[in-house]
A and B are shown apart, each in its own frame.
Chain A
């Protein structure tokens, strides 16, 4: 069953059409790649899916929990609560807060106590804060950040900041996870580890994942299907083998070697 349907999605900025008439479908549990040269419009697609941009036209339908909701026109926090979580290409952690606070904030929309209990620290506050602490620690340990819970996010090394981005997105309890270049700036060893991690969290949290990545070997290795964007338009869709052999894709990358992966 499709968890996400994107129909004829278009986004223009003034004269520039960053995303043009894109139609995509993600089935439940899939790990799908979204690739394309710099400026192809990949991040713009993510911003449309997470509600940071409003589409110029087209629709985005999310099917979760037996319901279908139209994503376009909704506020980002509403979309997040409906089950789309994301990371940012240029890491956007809450830099001056602790690692644990970064994760706890992402859990906020599931917290079951009101303002009054927040002021007076009533029993519901104690109970829920206890749960938050436990769940966030558990998540951090899964992401190899257990011993960093008390550190400020900005003091983490780069690779761990990328891990924290993923941990924070997972804390929102998404059904669909959007990863925007999670391996950017990582060395080969870190990338290998990340590859395993992505596959593992998909199983562990029963996620559907849409992955933007420039590291072709990573994409080809773990994605079941791949969409290719160029100048805002979808130019190819298929399995890694099909994409590797696709002439239009090779042309779009113009010399960048997609075949060596």
Chain B
């Protein structure tokens, strides 16, 4: 009985996913969603992938990283370089995959020595790493230095954005509900106790870091395949901060929080386009206000669930209270 219900709920999840996909696809098809809105949607999807994967590293495993933009840039440049030479769907997918693998490889190699550091030290080390990556791209011939790469053919569409975004969320949430995910979370809770209970803390920190870098590489590749143009300054320190803001705002340790925050921030900044002078001031002000009233982020460390929504509904409809 309970099992049947569970299966039904997970069916509903798949149905919701399919539904979202089809609706947006349809609206794009009939041109209700214009180019500008499409770019916003692309940004949201890419930011969700970035935030969810950074949340795995920072929110769930407790490793403060400021290097996510670096991993993203590896994915972006790799995919762009391949796409410029092989402008086809095959080229795009090969670029995306190799970008993600390369980012994961760098994540692994950087993580191994730096994840011994704690807190502020780790933040500075990851920041340094991402700056080094940026400077490498700035000086390489194949990336065309500061001028960057342009004329990258567009292959990223709603289908790929959706598949990779949903895939990232599903796989990472599955991972977190596995024993390996619990091992990561125990490292955040108390590294010494975790070690004493048989958890190889370094291994799980590096694992989270590598998975996170892989996903950031995918996000970068999607970015390259959408926006035609790449330059190193896009992936600076501020980009890493932007991603961290989404994670903190949504709630450290809440995947649905990251998703909500990515959507909310994109909507806010779209809305603020109408006030170009005050844009950054209003944006910052809103962040400050939200953090004052919800210091734990929108979701804290809780996840949005159907149960929560129905619970909310019940509270809003007092007449049904007696009906339990």
A residues in contact (CB < 8 Å) with B: 50-52, 75-77, 80-81, 86, 88, 92-97, 101, 104-109, 111, 113, 115, 117-121, 125, 128-129, 132, 168-169, 171-172
Contacts and interface: CB of A to CB of B under 8 A. Distances in A.
B196 A113 contact: no
B200 interface: yes
B254 interface: no
B120 interface: no
B185 A80 contact: no
A132 B180 CA distance: 13
A108 B198 contact: yes
A118 B186 contact: no
Main secondary structure of the interface of A (DSSP, over half): helix
A128 B197 CA distance: 19
Interface string B163-195: 000000001001100111111011001101111
Main secondary structure of the interface of B (DSSP, over half): helix
B190 A172 contact: no
What interface size band does chain B fall in? 20 to 34
Contacts of A97: 182, 185-186, 189
Contacts of B171: 119-120
A76 B175 contact: no
A91 to B, nearest CB: 10
Contact of A50 (B179, B185, B196): B196
21 contacts: A75-B200, A77-B195, A77-B201, A88-B193, A93-B193, A94-B189, A94-B190, A96-B301, A97-B189, A105-B185, A105-B186, A105-B194, A108-B186, A108-B199, A115-B175, A115-B180, A118-B179, A119-B171, A121-B178, A125-B178, A171-B197
Contacts of A105: 182-183, 185-186, 194, 197, 199
Contacts of A107: 179
Given A101-B185, A105-B183, A113-B178, 4 more contacts: A52-B195, A80-B196, A105-B199, A118-B175
